[in-house]
Amino acid sequence: MPNDDWKCAACGQSNNLDSHYCLVCLCPADASPEQVAQFLRPDTLEATTNDSSQNSPPMTPVADPAAEQEATNPAPSNIHRFHFTGSGAEYFKIWIVNLCLTLATLGIYSAWAKVRRLQYFDRNTQIAGAVMNFHGNPMAILKGRLIAVLLLVAYHYAFGFSKIFGVVVISVLFVIMPWLLRNALRFRLRNTSYRGVRFDFTGHLSGAYVSYAPLLAIFLLPALAGALFPEEPIVLGSMLIVLYLSWPIIHASMKRFQQSYLAYGDQPASYSGSIFSLIKPYLVSFGFGIGLLIGMFILFFVSIGILSAIFHKDVNTSTTWMMVSGFGFGLLCAYTMYLIAGPFLQVRIWNLVWNNTQFPGFTIRSELKFGSFLWLQTINLVLTLLTLGLYRPFAVIRTYQYRLAHMSLTGSSFDLVTQSHHAQSVAASGDSAADLFDIDLSF
């Protein structure tokens, strides 16, 4: 056997040693002769039959009842469960080394840290006996981050020079950011592979402008309004209210754009979810927030009445007590909203997005549960606070394991998946800019 590959016994394809399955016929590397016979291609099977017929006497075919029954009642599609083989202890070592080297190099090592992180997660994500992989180039990511730093500095200090310069910078960001965000998805997916086949994102630039322009408006227009109309807070306040209330529609449009143009090799994905289906979880959360706020107001005034009765004095006259208790109730209300509405939105949107995403011959199923996910996130938050952040890597692993454990892929086989043509290289500036501006583009 060669030192760098092994030859498939079913189809003769040469494969890398780190591949446990043939990339053409999916025959296992250590398959027995009986298993190899199941993966023989028609031309290989015909050649093998011809060779056998020349060297051995004819044989009378024997009916196989099991085969006849399988032909009459074909087996249902296979359900492949996702598995994560990594651990919190392993990832903690990677995380702490990445953190120390990033600080020691003033952020330069962050590009290599990202590649190590993504490779660890992808190479420990297993489905149908094979794992994923990430092939990103750290130097490309580093170049992109330099571009991202320049954009951030320009945005931060633009109006400090002059209003005209600030308007120019905002206009430039509006023009180039949709391109960067679209390229972020392309770079990440084109450098992610499964069974030797790379993912891709085929969304057009026009769709990126339609999907991401409202998102940019949320971040850029308030700064522009504040600089141009500093003495008119009503203008800024009205703009903020309109933009933030439109966030559910903006988020739903972004998700639809991202999911509709995924591809695995040359197999494009399809997305059947509607924008309204992604808005509904926000409406439920908004209703919960209103109910929580009303409940907190009632509890606040009931508490004042109880304390007044206990201490036989008018507690309402204590301005200091009113301010402290009001702040405490407000903080409790915000924390409760964050703790409950946050996981609820994550679970509902995650399930809706992936349950409506399909590849040819394959369907994806996500069954995250709100109750168990809420408990998981609560434990993660408490332990992260108690350990001053050192539990964070373990929390990330536990959350990732939970998501994968509740996801499955249904399909008969991977035979229909073929390697797509080599895609043109995409600069990593979009990927890095997305990280620096804290915009969710995760796959």
Q: What is the mean pLDDT of the chain?
A: 79
What does the block give as tokens for 11?
């189809």
Tell me the pLDDT tens digit for each residue of 152-184.
888 888 888 888 888 898 999 999 889 888 888
Task: Identify whether 47 is part of a domain.
Answer: yes
For residue 164, give the amino acid letter: I
Q: Tell me how crowded residue 364 is: count the other CB atoms within 10 A of its CB.
A: 18
Question: Among residues of the chain, what percentage have pLDDT more than 70?
Answer: 74
Task: Identify whether 311 is part of a domain.
Answer: no
Average pLDDT over residues 248-270: 92
Number of structural domains the chain divides into = 2
pLDDT at 127 over 60: yes
Task: Identify whether 339 is part of a domain.
Answer: no
156 in the same domain as 269: yes
Task: Identify whether 394 is part of a domain.
Answer: no
pLDDT at 31 over 50: yes
pLDDT in the model for residue 23:
62
Average pLDDT over residues 259-287: 91
242 in the same domain as 148: yes
Q: Tell me how crowded residue 283 is: count the other CB atoms within 10 A of its CB.
A: 11
Last residue of a domain, one of 54, 77, 92: 54
Measure the CA–CA gap between 297 and 237, rounded to whole angstroms. Answer: 24
pLDDT at 329 over 50: yes
295 or 393: which leads in pLDDT: 393
Last residue of a domain, one of 11, 31, 54: 54
307 or 193: which leads in pLDDT: 193
Range of the structural domain that residue 38 is part of? 1-54
pLDDT in the model for residue 241:
82
Last residue of a domain, one of 21, 39, 54: 54
In this prediction, residue 422 has a pLDDT band, given cuts at 50, 70 and 90, of very low
Task: Identify whether 203 is part of a domain.
Answer: yes
141 in the same domain as 20: no
Average pLDDT over residues 113-128: 94
Q: Are strands 357-359 and 197-201 parallel, antiparallel or unpaired?
A: unpaired
pLDDT at 72 over 70: no
What does the block give as tokens for 432?
């890095």
Average pLDDT over residues 340-348: 92
pLDDT at 25 over 70: no
In this prediction, residue 36 has a pLDDT band, given cuts at 50, 70 and 90, of low
Task: Identify whether 179 is part of a domain.
Answer: yes
What does the block give as tokens for 126?
């297993």
Q: Tell me how crowded residue 107 is: count the other CB atoms within 10 A of its CB.
A: 13
Distances in Å between the Cα of 53 and the Cα atoms of 8, 44, 50, 59, 281 are 23, 14, 5, 9, 65
371 or 48: which leads in pLDDT: 371
E-strand spans in 153-298? Answer: 192-194, 197-201, 262-264, 267-268, 270-271
* Residues 332/335/341/346 CA torsion (nearest 10 deg): -170
Task: Identify whether 205 is part of a domain.
Answer: yes
48 in the same domain as 178: no
pLDDT in the model for residue 260:
94
pLDDT in the model for residue 415:
53
Measure the CA–CA gap between 189 and 185, rounded to whole angstroms. Answer: 6
pLDDT in the model for residue 151:
86
The model's pTM is: 0.73
Residue whose token pair is 């994806």: 364
pLDDT in the model for residue 84:
95
310 or 146: which leads in pLDDT: 146
In this prediction, residue 73 has a pLDDT band, given cuts at 50, 70 and 90, of very low
Greatest extent of the chain over all pairs of C-alpha atoms, in Å? 109
Between vectors from CA 181 to CA 407 and to CA 218, what angle results, nearest 5°? 100
Task: Identify whether 364 is part of a domain.
Answer: no
**94-98, 136-140, 204-208, 436-440 — which is least confidently predicted?**
436-440
Question: Among residues of the chain, what percentage have pLDDT more than 90?
Answer: 37
**154-168, 230-244, 257-271 — which is least confidently predicted?**
230-244
